[in-house]
Structure 1
């Protein structure tokens, strides 16, 4: 139940546009990738660094698109859109999506219109979220089971009031907090190697994300941390 509630909370967070503004750049990239999956796109994310000016390659109805995400940027200028357009040409994409929590300069907006780049900024971003998550969910409470009698009650996921008593009078403490969300805030993680939705596995060190393609694909991911494979590859490349 705890795992199911964390997954539900992650979806609830992603259904609220204001949640994206507090994410790290990596969480933001993952969250936007999940957003476009909800919109029906096949999404293949690029490495977090050295991505060639794009964060993901999208496919829908056999048509290729390119995605770029920026969080925390005050303003995106025309040179940034030109670089992104070059990435579109390199990938053979027919259109691009540039998602930015800040704003775009007038020259950037004009260039984007002429080169099939669709822009989402702080004023239009909420409409994109609403399209992907048409029914916002509450992220304030989580279901928790009393381990003594099995009664299920709802408890806050943050603040001091994270414990209560069940109908049978037993003390129940919430097992879910916002800090527990970790990578869930970015939605259910996808394998960086084969792009499959990952599953929860149990190891001698506890739970972790594993690829459903195991043993052919051995990619794993920690709760609340970066992927082991990503970390090792960066070390090999000296990043």
Structure 2
């Protein structure tokens, strides 16, 4: 699965979860790949299709994207896992992390 295909998949997953979704532009997305909205709240999602661990950079990108798009919160979704440093940074910035295990749970629940 390419990065763009993963972004589309994450968008579809959030649709199945009851959100309306919008993919941002492929290049220069300001750290947000998908905007999901429900009940007047907007979530910015950074989708990372990686074979390695996801680092702080993804947390920094989504934190900036929240401000840029005026969103209520941010999530980083990956098919991999996060470094300890990324987990720590996400916690202090209130960014939600979905690793491979959480993604598998959501797929089982909504597909």
Q: Give the TM-score of the pair, scaled to structure 1.
A: 0.44
Ranges in structure 2 where 5+ consecutive residues have no aligned partner: none
The structural deviation recorded for 1:94 is: 1.7
Q: Deviations over 1:202-238 (max 9, x none)?
A: xxxxxxxxxxxxxxxxxxxxxxxxxxxxxxxxxxxxx
1:40 Cα deviation from its structure 2 partner: 0.7
- In structure 1, C-alpha distance between the alignment counterparts of 2:39 and 2:51, rounded to whole Å: 32
1:109-164 Cα offsets, whole Å, 9 max, x none, are 1111222211111232201212322xxxxxxxxxxxxxxxxxxxxxxxxxxxxxxx
Choose between structure 1 and 2 for higher RCO, CA contacts under 8 A separated by at least 6 residues: 2
Residue 94 of structure 2 corresponds to which residue in structure 1? 116
| CA–CA separation in structure 2 for the residues paired with 1:116 and 1:41 | 21
Which has more helix, going by share of residues? 2
1:47 aligns with 2:18: no
Q: Does residue 105 of the first structure (1) align with residue 83 of the second (2)?
A: yes
Please give the alpha-carbon distance, in whole angstroms, between the structure 2 residues aligned to 1:51 and 1:28.
15
Counterparts of 1:29 and 1:113, CA distance in 2: 23
What does 1:26-175 correspond to in 2, within 5 Å? 26-133=4-111
CA distance in 2, matches of 1:35, 1:123: 15
TM-score w.r.t. length of structure 2: 0.90
Q: Distance in 2 between matches of 1:125 and 1:34?
A: 13
Would you say the 8 A contact 1:43–1:59 is kept in 2? yes
Q: Distance in 1 between matches of 2:58 and 2:51?
A: 12
The Cα of 1:31 is off from its aligned counterpart by 1.0
Report SS of the residue matched to 1:48.
coil
Alignment partners' CA distance in 2, 1:130 and 1:85: 28
Query: Of the two, which has the highest radius of gyration?
Result: 1
Unaligned runs of 5+ in 1: 1-22, 134-239
Report the count of equivalent residues.
111
CA distance in 1, matches of 2:55, 2:6: 20
